[in-house]
Amino acid sequence: MKISNFCILTQRFTVVTILMMCCELIQAQPIPFKFSQQDYQKFTSEYQGKRFPDGRPMVSKDILERMKLVTVEEAWGILRSHGYNNQFEQDWVMTHENPVLVGRAVTIGFLPNRPDISEVVAQEGKDQGLPGRDKHWVMDKLQEDDVIVADLLGKKVGGAFIGDNLANMIHKRTGTGMVVDGGCRDLAGVLELKNFYVFNRNWHPSTSQTYDKTMVISYNAPIHIGQAAVMPGDVVLGLREGIMFVPAHLAQEVVETSEVIRLRDEFGFARLKAGTYTAGQIDSAWTGEIRDDFRGWLQEKDVELSEFQTNYIDEL
């Protein structure tokens, strides 16, 4: 092949490659902004489990059910041991005295309304044939065990992320609840929904069309809720103390560690009651004798342990 022809082919290949890359970037950045499959693979690469078709981590139903027994303190300690120091947020208004909200995070980010941007967002929705306004587009995509997590800028008046109608729809789709860093309305109607756990900042009669409006700028992209960093696919653990946002790749470790801790506590209480060991022996690093006793106790109870849990016991 002549050098000139080779150069022409190379140039054509380069142009085609650049065009393909540009198209890929455009497709990966719809409005509202959203993670693409490539984004998910890049930013949640440590998660090796099943995923939704769009790439969002799909932590298993089994792990979600077992997560309901985890305490905030247990999750806190494990996440911090991995360097995740910004996964907890507190000071919520809650619909239940002792809520247990668990599910996979679907994130939605807001901005104060700005006409030039909101017009583009509205047109994008119209072009895609999406009904309603921007927040409805996200709610319509919710699935079972999702928890919608909304960064509503802490807006307490005129936020009104949901009223009782939207709450009913979300409850039917997810069976869980939601986290709203801002206000909601129609508390009386929301309270009629069984086991629909809402963590928000306040309840106010104003609508989202009152005072200064907001607009959705992102859906299933990283957001912050107070001091916590949240990724789509995180496991939401909402309890009376506050909310832990557990990265998907650490959810199984959080659950399995919590299970061993509960077993250890049960064993410790039994041995203290029997006078076998002192409180100091049980409440400090265990000797080999106590560890072997614990293993024997687990065998008697016919407890099946994962490889991780077996190794964890060796380090007690």
Is 283 or 20 the better-scoring residue by pLDDT?
283
Show the tokens assigned to 163. 């009223």
**Single-letter residue type at 211:** Y
Q: How far is CA 65 from CA 104, 236, 277, in A?
A: 12, 12, 34
CA angle 164, 108, 122 (to 5 degrees): 85
Q: For position 70, what pLDDT does the model report?
A: 98
> Up-side HSE of residue 60: CA atoms within 13 Å toward CB?
9
Q: Are 40 and 220 in contact (CB under 8 A)?
A: no
Question: pLDDT tens digits, residue range 266-292?
Answer: 999 999 999 999 999 999 999 999 999
**Cis before residue 247, ω within 30 degrees of 0?**
no
Mean of pLDDT over the chain:
90
Q: For position 24, what pLDDT does the model report?
A: 46
Is 31 or 204 the better-scoring residue by pLDDT?
204
The pairing of strands 242-246 and 88-89 is antiparallel
Is 19 or 42 the better-scoring residue by pLDDT?
42
Q: For position 88, what pLDDT does the model report?
A: 98
* 210 burial type by CB count under 10 A (0-12 exposed, 13-18 middle, 19+ buried): middle
Show the tokens assigned to 130. 């999406």
Q: Are 104 and 212 in contact (CB under 8 A)?
A: no
Backbone dihedral angles phi then psi of residue 280, each to the nearest 5 degrees: -65, -35
CA angle 85, 86, 88 (to 5 degrees): 110
| Alpha-carbon span 124 to 129, nearest angstrom | 9
Is 119 or 182 the better-scoring residue by pLDDT?
182
pTM of the shown model? 0.87
Q: Give percent of the chain with pLDDT exceeding 70.
A: 90
**DSSP code string of 79-120:** HHHTT----EE---EESSSS--EEEEEEEEEEEE--HHHHHH
Question: pLDDT tens digits, residue range 130-147?
Answer: 888 899 999 999 999 999
Question: pLDDT tens digits, residue range 104-118?
Answer: 999 999 999 999 998
Q: For position 209, what pLDDT does the model report?
A: 81
Of 18-27, 72-81, 199-208, the range with the lowest mean pLDDT is: 18-27
Average pLDDT (163-191) is: 97
Q: How far is CA 118 from CA 28, 48, 112, in A?
A: 19, 37, 10
CA angle 88, 89, 94 (to 5 degrees): 125
